[in-house]
């Protein structure tokens, strides 16, 4: 029982403090970084409209995998499973959620009129934790870079340090 409570506390606190999370919905090939708001015990997302973040693979009634990073070093803290619910525009829950999202939305092109645009053109999703958390991986998950004609930087020319020191001496 206490381990479940600790898991819930970790999910809530880590997600609240992180400004960016990675979400992978059912059928999505990869996780996508999204901005969010933690409101009333769940992650709330806005997207799939013109000028807003895409939310591929997230459907009402589906599931999602949410990965939260640490604010200090940016490393993975916890990965948890969520139930996805799409909120109906104009409902009391939608209004409360949009009020929270509105405070976090940066650089909106239409200012105060954005909530009307969201109601017409966007989806507001609620990702509620199911209580399942995934164990942290043992190894790193870094993928090898794809082949590219780009090269790494070459060593600096031997004369460069002398040229830089000479410029400092003139001032």
Which of 45-49, 63-67, 105-109, 116-120 shows the lowest per-residue confidence on average (mean pLDDT)?
105-109
How far apart CA 111 and CA 41 sit, in angstroms, is: 27
pLDDT digit string, tens, across residues 135-164: 877 777 676 776 777 777 777 788 888 888
Q: What is the pLDDT of residues 100-136, one digit of tens each?
A: 998 888 777 787 788 999 999 999 999 999 988 888 7
Distances (CA, A) of 85 to 16, 17, 98, 127: 19, 22, 14, 6
| Reported pTM | 0.77
Residue 1 pLDDT exceeds 70: no
* Fold of the domain spanning 2-138: Pnp Oxidase; Chain A (2.30.110)
């Amino acid at each position: 029982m206490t381990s479940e409570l600790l898991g819930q506390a970790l999910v809530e606190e880590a997600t609240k403090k992180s400004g960016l999370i990675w979400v992978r919905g059912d059928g999505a090939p990869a996780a996508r970084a999204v901005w969010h708001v933690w409101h009333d015990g769940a992650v709330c997302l806005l997207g799939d409209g013109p000028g807003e973040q895409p939310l591929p693979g997230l459907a009402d009634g589906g599931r999602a995998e949410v990965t939260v990073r640490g604010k200090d070093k940016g490393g993975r803290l916890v990965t948890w499973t969520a139930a996805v619910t799409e909120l109906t525009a104009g409902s009391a829950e939608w209004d409360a959620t949009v009020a929270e999202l509105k405070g976090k939305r940066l650089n909106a092109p239409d200012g105060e009129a954005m909530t009307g645009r969201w109601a017409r053109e966007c989806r507001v999703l609620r990702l509620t934790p199911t209580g399942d958390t995934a164990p942290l991986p043992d190894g790193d998950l870094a993928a090898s870079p794809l082949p590219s004609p780009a090269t790494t930087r070459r060593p600096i020319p031997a004369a460069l340090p002398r040229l830089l020191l000479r410029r400092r001496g003139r001032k």
